[in-house]
Chains A and B, each alone.
Chain A
Amino acid sequence: MEELGRRAGKELDVPWDDLRHARVRDRVRRDWKDGRALGGWRRGQDLWRWAGAAVVLVAVAMAALLGGLRTENPAPVVTVAPVLEPAMDRRLGPEVRAENALSLADGSRVVMLREAEVSVVSDDSRGVRLRHEAGRVRYEVMPRERTPFVVEAGEVEVRVVGTVFVVDVEPRWTTVEVSEGRVEVRDAEDMVTLESGEQLRLRPNRELAPTDQVVPHRAEKSEAKPASTPGALENVRSRRPRSSAAKLMARADAARAVGDLVGAIRALQQLVREHPTAPRAPQAWMTLGRLERQRGRPIAASQAFRHVFEQARSHPLAEDAMGEAAQALATAGKVEEARRAAERYLARYPSGIHRDKMRSLLGR
């Protein structure tokens, strides 16, 4: 009975992918911000806040009654998008697609593509200002003559006249890609203009020359316009991947569902090769490791697991990957390497979930 339990613990494949992770995080965050998680220490503070707000509301109502105020625009709203890649977007129904896009009063649209968080700072007669916290978002902005449309992304602002562009805020990069029209990207010290077909990639914590990260983001197409300042940019020139990470992960899942291990492994290998820094990459390596183990290839499994903790040491899967790598090495008969891996695991996670197995590898 205990053995069956242990096997279940090892074989249960927890269906918690990046999509779910971010979706639940957004729900918790929204409820937290809405005050649904409040209690105890904040309740008292909030009573005072509500009392203050009530006083302000009464004052505003009085002023409106006296004819001094006319409200023109709705209050700013905060929206947190579900996590969807374009490919999945097409697969899902229209209601989901509708939830995935925010329509502004002037007809502009904010389409959440991946792990996106955008809040509306203001949307009124003076213009639109959005704050882009994370993820990949496409902005389809209606032509504007006077009022600005501004997206705050990290330390920069993207100002628009009338255009379609994508902003992608990742831990390692913030990217702005312009599909149509023109945008200005500014920070406190400088400004860069991007035109259709150009991409600006900003590296955090690094001083950059004014436009040295501007590249044609459709460089493989002959009609792409040249970069604003062509120069030594080959190191950041990026070819568009043939398939998105989400699509490849979905392909791997579909292959696994029908028992096609080789097909699943191929899709995952393509994912880690074409999207080595994507948020899904550690999960892809982890699944690769499990599939290789399942195929009876413990060395390949240990290498895949090693990628998880070597590339993303603070990733939630890192601990599991480190433990699995040690066990895979032991299965492969690499006793010394397995012992070293077990020692590394115990040094890093002395009370980790694999500690008993690691101790047993060490003969303790």
Chain B
Amino acid sequence: MHVAALRAQPTIEPSDAELLDGIREGEERAFRRLYDRHARYLAGVAYRLLGNDNELEDVVQEAFLEAIRFLHRVREPERLRSWLVTVTVRRVRRRLRKRRSRRRLAAAVAPVAPRVSDPGQSADVEALYRALDQVAPEARIPWILHHVQGATLPETADVCDMSLSTVKRRIAHARRQLEGRLA
């Protein structure tokens, strides 16, 4: 029995640009590959920003839907991941703002409980995220992207859609607040 090309050329990975073209043509396989390539990374970014996984799936889902919707805006396909992170950050920012407004209304808010590999580190990390929860999203996001995610300052400015000086100012602001709360 000759079983032809159930999966064509598995060793040749199409570029993001090719996958974007495929998605524009409505190809599901292109969508799957693009999603598989970037979703875990975006989930990691979103999780570090959110600090818990209550809204993680929703954020990744929304980010991808928004990305698909605005694919025509992608000018540099080779920088697709960075653009996807920008979209994810935007979705997280909305979620964090809602979370804060809910807290102001004294509504029940799920406790922040980030999951860590090493149980010995969990107390410190939990304390950090409890403190971060008191920091405004505009300062919290750049601080986490820079210090937890490990992004450089220009990268942080890029994905936050801010100038470098604004990012520096906000990170410094977050730092002051965190120091006050963790002292």
Chain A: residues with CB nearer than 8 A to chain B? 1-2, 4-9, 11-16, 20-21, 23-25, 27-29, 31-33, 36-41, 133, 154-156, 171, 174, 187-190, 192, 202-211, 259, 290-291, 294, 314, 316-317, 353-354, 356
Contact = CB atoms under 8 A, between A and B. Distances in A.
Contact of B2 (A6, A40, A187): A187
Contacts of A20: 43, 56-57
B106 interface: no
Contacts of A259: 119
A249 B111 CA distance: 26
A28 B125 contact: no
Contacts of B3: 154-156, 174, 187, 202-208
A122 to B, nearest CB: 19
Given A1-B182, A11-B118, A15-B53, A28 B68 contact: yes
Contact of B61 (A24, A206, A210): A24
B162 interface: no
Given A1-B179, A13-B117, A21-B39, A7 B2 contact: no
Contact of B116 (A11, A187, A192, A356): A11
Interface of B: 1-8, 10, 13, 24, 28, 31-32, 35-41, 43-44, 47-48, 53, 56-57, 60-61, 64-66, 68-73, 114-119, 121, 124-125, 128-129, 143-144, 146-150, 175, 178-179, 182
A36 B65 contact: yes
B19 to A, nearest CB: 13
Contact of A41 (B4, B53, B72): B72
B40 A316 contact: yes
Contacts of A316: 36-41
B68 A12 contact: no
Given A24-B39, A204-B6, 13 more contacts: A1-B175, A6-B148, A11-B118, A12-B48, A23-B57, A37-B65, A38-B69, A40-B70, A190-B1, A205-B4, A211-B1, A314-B13, A316-B39
A317 B71 CA distance: 25
A301 to B, nearest CB: 11
B117 A11 contact: yes
Nearest to B32: A25
Given A155-B5, A204-B5, A208-B3, A7 B44 contact: no
B143 to A, nearest CB: 7
Closest 8 CB pairs of A and B: A5-B147, A204-B6, A316-B40, A16-B43, A154-B6, A9-B148, A39-B69, A37-B68
Nearest to B40: A316
Contact of B6 (A174, A188, A356): A174
Most buried by A among B13, B28, B129, B182: B28
Nearest to B52: A15
A41 B70 CA distance: 8
Contacts of A23: 57
